[in-house]
Amino acid sequence: MSNSPTNDELAGEDAVGLADRIRRGDLSPVEAVQATIDRIERLDGDLNAVIHKQFEDALELAASPDLPDGPFRGVPMLLKDLWAEEAGRPHHAGIQALKDADHRSTIDSNMVTRYKEAGFVIVGRTNTPELGLVATTESLAYGPCRNPWNTGHGTGGSSGGAAAAVASGMLPAANASDGGGSIRIPAAMCGLVGLKPSRGRVSMGPVKEEWGLSVQHVVCHTMRDSAAILDATAIPFLGDGVVAPDHGRPWVDQTGRDPGSLRIGFMDHSPRTEVHPDCADPTRRTAAMLEDLGHHVEDAHPPALEQIDELGWAFGVNWGVGAVLSLEHLGGQLGREVTEADVEPGTWFLAERGRDISAVDYARAQGAMSTFRRSMAEWWESGFDLLVTPTTALPPPPIGELTPTDDDPVRGSKRSMPYATFTSPFNTTGQPAISLPLGSSDGLPVGVQLVAAYGREDLLIAVGSQLEAEARWSDHRAPIHA
């Protein structure tokens, strides 16, 4: 096409804009997919973000009359190699044993079904830590994923491959999931928008269930992408265990909407760990920006966040039991009993600890998490609309700093704690939370987190759009960029 946009122009386009270009006939789905393939092949050698490629099949689907005519028809998509299963495709969850077995999924996850219905074209799968258990993407199976802002540093976890792919301009948005901060932490470290939706907003079936810590969505550059993709995918399936209430849908209409003057609290410290000044300062600056936008901002936060020792214990119990279940599932995939040699030392240690947890302690942990959830809800019910915190307590770490070792198998978990201290409480409560790229530290991005009451993604999207208009973060792209 003589008037076709250049690859550089397409690399800077968001998913909504790319879909608009395809609908107008400025480019075809094949051209959009081929441009993404070209960028992956050019950039991924430096980043190690895309670990499974399905380029030929993607081009065939993009050219097919059977490509669904959804809102994102022809827009490329990458799936995180954890829980987002696609029938016939590799699904290794960062595990060497599954890689060695060339394990392939037999089903499409419900989220993947929604992507396909929306017209997305899946071009491959992204790097993730083993079972998504730590805040860095450096599995033994696939090696470290590197930050496009500085390749000596990590991308966070567990959606690190997705974040590196989007931040480098390979494609505008990529699938991500969040069980303790795994959307928000990589978004913060790579300068992206990362929304963790409410519990039950997105179907986790048919393998996972909704009444858990994890939820899926995307990392992306713009508020309208986060909102419009949520509109396309947050459609319940029969049998979903939790379905979050709708407020303000379609959410894409919340971008640019004036939410009025909101009551917003902010918290720039943690009772569990020191907060780096480069992470605390953007939180205070964001609070001041929100005040300038007409909101009432005060130094206030839920008292329950100051008393989270029992929550930390309960979260650890849940994490350990989850590791046991994951290894049981792994045994079914391999068709044999899992041994210590099949997984990384941190995973094995966590599962062994999980096996020692009694049914009574597990029930106690669920009760403690329920009490925390109700206590947190009271603060929002008392009149607050949003809470502002750092996304992480520390800037992005150097490669290798968060990995477990044989001598110290819990090194990765322990060193991940400052990265999840502000994010994981809201996996327990099920509230929606978003990381926005509003800070930096020595040239590396850091994020600011906004949290709303359960089911109120509409407020996060409206206020996030106000901040986006002020900060214009998507004008600033990583040095390694298409």
pLDDT digits (tens, 9 = 90+) for 265-316: 999 999 999 999 999 999 999 999 999 999 999 999 999 999 888 888 999 9
Give the pLDDT mean for 22-42. 97
Q: Binning pLDDT at 50, 70 and 90, where does residue 4 land? A: low
Question: Taking 50 as the threshold, does the pLDDT of residue 1 lie above it?
Answer: no
Is residue 214 part of the annotated active site? The answer reads no
Is residue 99 part of the annotated active site? The answer reads no
- 139, 159, 182, 413: the active-site residue: 182
Residue 436, beta-bridge partner list: 448
pLDDT per residue as tens digits for the range 36-81: 999 999 999 999 999 999 999 999 999 999 999 999 999 999 999 9
DSSP collapsed to 3 states, the chain: CCCCCCHHHHHCCCHHHHHHHHHHCCCCHHHHHHHHHHHHHHHHHHHCCEEEECHHHHHHHHHCCCCCCCCCCCCEEEEECCCCCCCCCECCCCCHHHHHCCCECCCCCHHHHHHHHCCCEEEEEECCCHHHCCCCCEECCCEECCECCECCECCCCCCHHHHHHHHCCCCCEEEEEECCCCCHHHHHHHCCEEEECCCCCCCCCCCCCCCCCCEEEEEECCHHHHHHHHHHHCCCCCCCCCCCCCCCCCHHHHCCCCCCCCEEEECCCCCCCCCCHHHHHHHHHHHHHHHHCCCEEECCCCHHHHCCHHHHHHHHHHHHHHHHHHHHHHHHHHCCCCCHHHCCHHHHHHHHHHHCCCHHHHHHHHHHHHHHHHHHHHHHHCCCCEEEEECCCCCCCECCCCCCCCCCCCHHHHHHHHHHCCCCHHHHHCCCEEEEEEEEECCEEEEEEEEECCCCHHHHHHHHHHHHHHHCHHHCCCCCCC
> How far apart, in whole angstroms, are the C-alpha atoms of residue 289 and residue 286?
5
For residues 2 and 130, the model is more confident at 130
Check residue 109 and give its pLDDT: 98
Residue with tokens 């092949």, as numbered in its chain: 41
Which two three-digit tokens encode residue 114? Answer: 């929604």
**Residue 125 in contact with residue 79, Cβ under 8 Å?**
yes
- Name the residue among 2, 1, 26 with its Cα closest to residue 10: 26
Question: Taking 90 as the threshold, does the pLDDT of residue 482 lie above it?
Answer: no
Give the pLDDT mean for 73-90. 97
Check residue 417 and give its pLDDT: 94
Check residue 2 and give its pLDDT: 39
- 109, 139, 158, 159: the active-site residue: 158
Proportion of the chain above pLDDT 70, given as a percent? 99
- 80, 99, 116, 196: the active-site residue: 80
Is residue 80 part of the annotated active site? The answer reads yes
> How far apart, in whole angstroms, are the C-alpha atoms of residue 234 and residue 200?
9
**Residue 269 in contact with residue 299, Cβ under 8 Å?**
no
Q: What Cα–Cα distance (Å) separates residue 197 from each residue in 20, 146, 194, 254?
A: 25, 26, 10, 15
Check residue 307 and give its pLDDT: 85
In angstroms, the first-to-last Cα distance of the chain is: 21
Check residue 309 and give its pLDDT: 84
Count of other CB atoms within 10 angstroms of residue 1: 9
How much is the mean pLDDT over the chain? Answer: 96
CATH number of 7-475: 3.90.1300.10
pLDDT per residue as tens digits for the range 163-192: 999 999 999 999 999 999 999 999 999 999
Check residue 3 and give its pLDDT: 61
- Give 261's Cβ-side CA count (13 Å radius): 6
